[in-house]
Amino acid sequence: MKRTLDRRSLLAGIAGTAAAAAAGCDTTPRSRSDERPPRWQGGRSPWPVCLDTATIRPASLEEKVRVAARAGFDAIEPWEGELRSYEADGGSLSDLRKMIEDAGLFVPSVIGLWNAIPPTREGWEAGLPASRERMRMASAIGSQQIQVVPQPERPWSEFDLAWASARYRDLLEIGINDYDLVPAMVFVEFLPGCARLGQAAAIALDADHPQARIIPDAFHMHIGDSGFNGLRRLQGDFIAIFQFNDAPASPPKEELRDEHRVFPGDGILPLEQCIRDLDEIGFRRCISLELYNPGYWKRDPIEVAREGLEKTVSVVERALA
């Protein structure tokens, strides 16, 4: 009996080893750096770090490009209003694209497609030319994605999920086929129909499109009561870009507004856990520093950019150490 049990144990062990080998499993312990060497920020981050231009808002668009490059960012995320003004002032978006690329930067996303999903067919058709124009500008500077803002604001009770998903699918088809960029859903606390992570995810999932994506923002996850545990339930490729920022301990959450955003690590949000979750789910796109703090706007833009980059990368390093 003893021999039989030993033989069974031996056979079970051999079978388990063979199954692991067949499945491509390797039981050798590996560090995170063994699996995926960092590629950005001199090896300090597994993701490129982007500067949202609102962070240094008083500067001109060309100055923002220069500041982002001098500070050491990998990418820059402008707003469509800046692109429109740039063209209106006689600037060439193709020349701006060259400037961005010559500075060693790229454009992961542009903000954004405002009023992109109105509640009626009449509103949709009336607004589509403006959405196309915004996509044209984003594409002209080489943007990979553009943010879809499902305005105008309306109560959740009047928000038609099926309609929103169908129109988001239309925007995806237009963006990909006509402008070579991917529209991605945002959620913001002041839009009751799409204020939470789950609401944006529902719109994107029900669009039933292989390129559907969402854009989480740490600050809006906090003030919109999404919380942070849902992030680890997503797949990394479902996230277009992760907007990175922190929130102070005061004022209380219900009184927080965008102007209260602070540098990553200077507030109370669980950013290190967010970073670990993003890493675990296989997120591979940009982390974007997005702040609207008037106190920062009064400072030298290069100082703000450098401090923001260093604090962003420091949070990443601490989380993945």
Model confidence over 151-193: pLDDT tens digits? Answer: 888 887 888 999 999 999 999 999 999 999 999 999 998 888 8
pLDDT (mean) for 78-97 = 98
DSSP letter at 269 equals S
Q: Is residue 36 part of a domain?
A: no
Q: Is residue 167 part of a domain?
A: yes
Q: List Cα–Cα distances, 58 to 55, 114, 298, in angstroms.
A: 9, 21, 8
CATH code of the domain covering residue 198:
3.20.20.150
Q: At a CB cut-off of 8 Å and minimum separation 6, what does 37 contact? A: 43
Closest by alpha carbon to 292, among 240, 238, 223, 225? 223
Q: Is residue 235 part of a domain?
A: yes
313, containing H or E segment: helix 301-320
Model confidence over 225-243: pLDDT tens digits? Answer: 999 999 999 999 999 999 9
Q: List Cα–Cα distances, 1 to 4, 7, 8, 167, 242, in angstroms.
A: 5, 10, 11, 69, 60
Q: Is residue 20 part of a domain?
A: no
pLDDT (mean) for 258-274 = 98
Backbone phi, psi, residue 242, to 5°: -110, 115
The domain of 300 spans: 46-320
pLDDT above 70 coverage of the chain, percent? 88
Q: What's the pLDDT score for residue 156?
A: 77
Look at residue 32 and tell me whether its pLDDT is greater than 90: no
Closest by alpha carbon to 149, among 117, 196, 110, 193? 117
Q: Is residue 27 part of a domain?
A: no
Q: Is residue 127 part of a domain?
A: yes
Q: List Cα–Cα distances, 273 to 35, 228, 278, 310, 320, in angstroms.
A: 20, 9, 9, 18, 9
- What average pLDDT does the chain have? 90
Q: How many domains does the chain have?
A: 1
Pairing of strands 75-77, 49-52: parallel
Q: Is residue 14 part of a domain?
A: no
What's the rounded Cα separation, in Å, for the pair 72 and 309? 8
Q: Is residue 33 part of a domain?
A: no
